[in-house]
A and B are shown apart, each in its own frame.
Chain A
Amino acid sequence: MPEAETMVKVFARPTSLNEKHFTYCPGCDHGLITRLVAGAIDKLGVQERTVFIAPVGCAVFAYEWFRCDGIQASHGRAAAVATGLKRANPDLVVISYQGDGDLAAIGTAETIHAANRGEAITVIFVNNQIYGMTGGQMAPTTLPGQRATSCPEGRDVATMGHPLPVAEMIATLAAPAYVTRQSLHDPRHVAQAAKAIEKALRYQVEGKGYSLVEILATCPTGWRMPPAVAHQHVADVVTGAFPLGDLVDRG
């Protein structure tokens, strides 16, 4: 490699990721979010204090990809597991990584109460508007009219309810330090999301308390869209239903 002498590496794999390959489908935003979380762990230098909690969902293997301690939680209970870890050992940096079925359907109670207690944890909420892992069923965040395998005619809000505005709900609580909604549909938004994750983790390290980073993500497989088209759909449609930005920042 003759260029080696004149060229420097400007983008490398985060050191807190190990060498294992992600198990996500091609073009799935889960991979990007996993990488951003690892980048934030690197940046804050907390790899040796971090416990990564994987949910039940497509990220079920994610605890295996970090050079950090990891644990697999039952479906929806990651916020309770995070609470137990953090209360038992406040020196740990605890990251709960959850999908929308996991966090906003089966785990709604744990989510709200952990936030309301201001548990000093960082919650990464992957809102892909679908149950990816089980084959594309309707999620609490599925958009009105959006088709899923369990709402083949599209979500009818009259009988199936409206998309659950998780970040807005959590933002009504008094305790959270940081609540934000981010997207990954272009490099600028990826960079912003990276900063948001880093801030959320920093607030935990600084003892400021609970953070929730909701990230609008794609599920190319469940949406039946090519990855680039899925990102365009996020830009054109999803961000309209789920507005981006910081909702709470008590840093």
Chain B
Amino acid sequence: MVKFSHVTRKYGNTVAVKDLNLKIAGNEFVVLIGPSGCGKTTTLKMVNRLINPTSGTIEVMGKNIQDLNPVTLRREIGYVIQQVGLFPNMTIAENIGVVPHLLGWDKNKSRKRAAALLTMVGMDPETYMDRYPTELSGGQQQRIGVLRALAADPPLILMDEPFGALDPITRETLQDEFKRLQTELHKTIIFVTHDIDEALKLADRIVIMRAGEVVQDATPEELLRHPADDFVAAFLGKDRLSNQELQVAQVMLENPVKAYPEMGMAEGLALMKRKKVDTVLITDHGGRFLGSVSVDEVNAKHRSFNTLGEIVDQDTPAIEKTAAAKDAFNRINEEKLPYLPVIDEKGLLVGIVTRNNMVNALASVVWGDHNGSS
């Protein structure tokens, strides 16, 4: 789909990209990553000729792009930038319809396309089509930025740190959404970022760059197992650590109120009352987590059932103790859970994370009295 052969780009004495050789296959999701100034943006912009190489050739879909009209070429390649750049003088539908308009689609067709794309990311077309960009949140704006690149259904999409300006939670939502889109749309994507977690999450293949050169070109798996050198290891390590700093096991409460399935209804009620909780977690005699019973359930069903085991809610969500504390926090927030039981790799109940102790854990991280955190 895209092939760089001996591509070099200089700015005066600065070599932004040095003798780059890179082949990107159809439907591949390639992430370019590296420290600021290493030549990622320059590499990306040479593909749609916003920047021309000093030497070397680039082929897109088998054609040397130097032989193509840049304007025509760009209309066939989606382009998403960090600053979004939605035109403030155009409505959302018009923004999504820019490339279709340039390609001469009629207005109806391009509005229909905009509506279909909005629906695809869960934004109601009726509500959003005729709004202006300033009336949308940052996350919504970048969603439109992505849809705009998809509008004319280009086979290749270039993205330059598209989620870099978003807050962490919105960023993650958009990453997940985009990952899902990609599995449906099968585009070839070249994606620039400096966030290694983002790269590991999205990429089929990661190209690590330093000072204009490729240091390693590998799948996320290979990269984690066999970093090419100390630079790569440091690059992977630093960010890895900061995110794995806090695991669920470090923030959970270790003695949740629990009971065996044979416990009688009245006894269960008394237990909850004594411990001042409104839910009790149920395990078997080996400690394996079975589910939960709430005080409301007991009150509602104590006439027709005898033991807690008969009314246990087996779909109670739980989280593994090695998961990132951040994930527990996100799930509690997003799924509006009052608590999350914590299990180990064998499914044994080892603790519980509640809204309250999550907040306390976060507070201690923020104010620095959690040992081991920086």
Q: Do A and B truly interact? A: no
